[in-house]
Amino acid sequence: MALTAVKGFNDILPEESGRWQYIEQTARRVFELNGFGEIRVPVMEKTELFCRSIGDATDIVEKEMYTFTDKGENSVTLRPEGTAGVMRAFIEHKLYAQDPIAKLYYMGPMFRYERPQKGRYRQFHQIGAEITGVNDPLADAQVLNMLTAFFREIGLTEPTLQINSLGCPDCRPAYRTALRSFLQERMAGLCEDCKRRFDTNPLRMLDCKVPGCVESTVGAPSVLEHLCKGCDEHFSAVRRYLDHSGTPYSINSRMVRGLDYYTRTTFEMVTGLLGSQSAVAAGGRYDGLISQLGGPAIPGIGFAMGLERVALLLGNQDFGTQPDLFIATMGAGERDVAFRLMDGLLKAGIRVEMDYEGKSLKSQMRRADKLKARFSAVIGENEVASGKTSIKRMADGIQTDAALTVAGIQSLVMKSEQ
């Protein structure tokens, strides 16, 4: 039987990795500008970490985790998201002892056992960022502005920002009760999952995609009308800061997140272009998480975006891996000269390809086209004798004479870049 990758686990081939690098580099640039530093944590953690942070009654922990017992009889899990591991490290290494305000970002693979489809895989990649130690809504606004800046810098006008507040342990119980009494009379129309959620996690019922559940929750009480004074003021301040920054957003009071640790501000970047995979990035405040995991009472806020979904939105543009110059040779005699020239140009930072196999001139030029080289040069006996060659700009065929030296070719290729 032919060996293939595990279902839902993808290879990122070279033709695609330019786009991935562009996304990662843009995120690093925007996040580092905002004072975030990278943290790299393991892809596997003790299972208990995710049960205690994400929550036992969430889809992720109930159905989606890759959990197994290792050879030492320990229950371990491939991380389904990044925040739990980052906060585990924050506590374990007492990062808060130097400064409770930490700005951290991470990127890497996550694992969830879901039904694979466009924009949804079993191994997928997230880029995320977290700020700890700031209660003030300023942190919420900076995180949202940074996320908005990332999408602007990367050149996407989709997705758009939606925000909500989920309240806090003081005001959420009353909202949960109000929601339950509203849904109590509509139980007949709900799916089996939601009948269960009624007891375990009623807020999740607002997020169910099953048509009967969507219908049954129309007119449900809004969480925003049940916020306590502190949460209400916090949410108003976040909106005020966003307005000051000119950051566009809309309020979606039905947005609930699939992880239990969120408090107060929650948000999603949503798009209509990816079918039911509409969330491109998502996050929120988690003021109780760090203490829940055994650390001090330090608040936090953060988000994660799905790299695959960002890549799908970017589409098939060229991400600049094409060579600056292709050097073709007339015969075997010139390949020595061509190689030395290529070596010199590579050392000078010019991307060069040459013919490695002694192919015909015609097939060399076909290869130059295929690689989308910006320029090509042909070297034959005449060029070697005269020390000159002509450099052809592939886009329009215009030829320019150049000395057959690194300096001669370099200046020409660089000049045309401006």
Interface contacts to ligand ATP, rule CB under 6 A = 81, 112, 114, 119-121, 124, 126, 258, 277, 279-282, 304-306, 308-309
Q: How far is the CB of 274 from ligand ATP (least distance, A)?
A: 9
Measured at the alpha carbon of residue 407, what is the angle toward residues 401 and 411, in degrees to the nearest 5?
65
Which of residues 149 and 304 has its CB atom nearest to ligand ATP in the complex?
304
Q: How far is the CB of 80 from ligand ATP (least distance, A)?
A: 8
Distance in Å, CB of 260 to ligand ATP, minimum: 12
Q: How far is the CB of 284 from ligand ATP (least distance, A)?
A: 9
Q: Which is nearer to ligand ATP, 146 or 305 (CB)?
A: 305
β-pairing verdict for 250-251 and 352-354: unpaired
- Residue 137 or residue 258: which is nearer to ligand ATP going by CB? 258
Q: How far apart are the first and last CA of the chain?
A: 53
Instruction: State the nearest-atom distance from the C-beta of 118 to ligand ATP, in Å.
Output: 10
Closer by beta carbon to ligand ATP, 308 or else 334: 308
- Work out how close the CB of 151 gets to ligand ATP at its nearest, in angstroms, rounded to a whole number: 12
Angle at 319 between CA 5 and CA 356, to 5 degrees: 80
For residues 41 and 307, give the distance between their C-alpha atoms in angstroms, rounded to a whole number: 18
Are the C-beta atoms of residues 231 and 165 closer than 8 Å to each other? yes
Question: Closer to ligand ATP at the Cβ: 262 or 375?
Answer: 262
User: Is 126 or 329 the residue whose CB approaches ligand ATP more closely?
Assistant: 126
Nearer to ligand ATP among residue 128 and residue 299 (C-beta): 128
Which CB atom, from 119 or from 137, has the smaller least distance to ligand ATP? 119
Least separation, in Å, of the C-beta of 357 and ligand ATP?
41
Nearer to ligand ATP, 182 or 249 (CB): 249
Shortest CB 90 distance to ligand ATP, Å: 19
Q: What is the 3-state secondary structure (H, E, C) of the chain?
A: CCCCCCCCCCCCCHHHHHHHHHHHHHHHHHHHHCCCEECCCCCEEEHHHHHHHCCCCCHHHHHHCEEEECCCCCEEEECCCCHHHHHHHHHHCCHHHHCCCCEEEEEEEEECCCCCECCECCEEEEEEEEEECCCCHHHHHHHHHHHHHHHHHCCCCCCEEEEEECCCCCCHHHHHHHHHHHHHCCHHHCCHHHHHHHHHCHHHHHHCCCHHHHHHCCCCCCHHHHCCHHHHHHHHHHHHHHHHHCCCCEECCCCCCCCCCCEEEEEEEECCCCCCCCEEEEEEECCCHHHHCCCCCCCEEEEEEEHHHHHHHHCCCCCCCCCCEEEEECCHHHHHHHHHHHHHHHHCCCCEEECCCCCCHHHHHHHHHHCCCCEEEEECHHHHHHCEEEEEECCCCCEEEEECCHHHHHHHHHHCCC
Find the shortest distance in angstroms from Cβ 10 to ligand ATP: 10
- Residue 138 CB, shortest distance to ligand ATP, in Å, is 23
For ligand ATP, which is the closer residue by CB, 58 or 364?
Answer: 58
Residue nearest to ligand ATP according to CB distances in the complex: 306
